[in-house]
Amino acid sequence: MPELPEVETVVRLIRPRLVGRSITAASVAWKRSIGSQSVASFARAVVGERFESVERRAKYIVMSLGGRGALVGHLRMTGRMHVEAADWDPGKFARVRLDLDDGNAFHFIDVRKFARLEFVRDPAPRLADLGPEPLGPEFTADWLAQQLRGCRGALKPLLLDQSFLAGLGNIYVDEALFRARLHPLTNSRRVSAEQAAALRREIRAVLGEAIEREGSSFDTFYRTPEGNPGSFQHQFRVYGRTGEPCRDCGTPIARSVVGQRGTHTCPSCQPRPRRTRRAAR
């Protein structure tokens, strides 16, 4: 599933092609892509509207259509967004098409049919349960240390909880925990202020580097709106490197399951907490 860097890359690439453009026609090839709204109602809501902004909130893409509402997109596992010339062929997995007043068209493509592009009058309720942005000003070392002291359980599942911190996924949590030298099973209450500051720093660093490289493409599904793969996968320190030597100490990278998620660590750089050995399978 695309995580924060991949979604941010999509937003940055489609924003200049959409903002200021008006929708002249709408067609839907897979009704579930637009949620519970009927195709006719969806078309009536968006046709004639003008894209005023394209922003990211967590893993959501929010495209404001002026005062009438917004399109809220979630790429899920295989969703993609393209803005191309009107005669561009999006292939057989095209789900939604919006024709634009400059002769181009916005295409919502999804292989596995899990992604969504829904029109809402107000996106705020949809986003209300999300935690702060890890790249935002509210995500400070003091905030993180305080929140961790007030929570129970292992560190990794907490970081994956979108109501705690928005946008992080399996890849970047593993990478940030390695850089901060914290094991995923570390009890959140036992993270010191110094460790919280290091974790916050590494989360932001990993996300920033991944955005610069337009995300990670470790399978055939994620491509940028320009059709290119991201390249951050070449910088992975632990994720997906089971059995390969740690880039820092040479110890083979280990794989375990934490919170039902495949997890990658260096046993030497990230010692497992003794009292939580039974928490992993």
Tokens of 274: 């003794």
Give the CATH number, domain containing residue 269. Answer: 1.10.8.50
136 belongs to a structural domain: no
Residue at 133 is within a domain: no
Return the CATH number at 19.
3.20.190.10
The whole-angstrom separation of Cα 224 and Cα 12 is: 10
Helix (H, G, I), strand (E, B) or coil at 107: strand
Alpha-carbon span 60 to 167, nearest angstrom: 9
pLDDT the model gives residue 274: 80
Q: What is the pLDDT of residue 281?
A: 44
One domain for residues 110 and 186: no
pLDDT at 46: 98
d(CA 81, CA 91): 13
Rg of the chain's alpha carbons, rounded to an integer? 20
Closest alpha carbon to 11 in 54, 53, 50, 66: 54
Q: Is-catalytic flag, 59?
A: yes
92 is catalytic: no
Q: Are residues 85 and 155 located together in one domain of the fold?
A: no
> Are residues 261 and 161 part of one domain?
yes
Residue 135 belongs to a domain: no
Residues 93 and 146 in one domain: no
> CA 187 to CA 86: how far, in whole Å?
53
For residue 277, pLDDT beyond 60: no
Q: Is 137 among the residues known to form the active site?
A: no
My answer on whether 98 and 172 are in the same domain is no
Q: SS3 breakdown of the chain: % helix, strand, coil, rounded to 5? A: 35, 20, 45
Residue 198 has pLDDT above 50, yes or no: yes
Q: What is the pLDDT of residues 31-73, one digit of tens each?
A: 999 999 999 999 999 999 999 999 999 999 999 998 789 999 9
Rounded Cα distance, 191 and 110, in Å: 40
Q: Which of 261, 267, 272, 273 is labelled catalytic? A: 261
Where does a domain end: 104, 127, 150?
127
Q: Which of 15, 59, 95, 223 is catalytic?
A: 59
Range(s) of the domain holding residue 188: 141-279
- Cβ pair 173, 159 in contact under 8 A: yes
Q: Are residues 152 and 270 in the same domain?
A: yes
pTM over cut 0.85:
yes
Active site residue 229: no
Positive or negative CA dihedral for 197, 202, 203, 204? positive
Q: Which amino acid is at 19?
A: V
Greatest C-alpha distance within the chain: 62
Number of independent structural domains in the chain: 2
Which whole number is the average pLDDT over 231-241?
94
Average per-residue pLDDT for the chain = 94
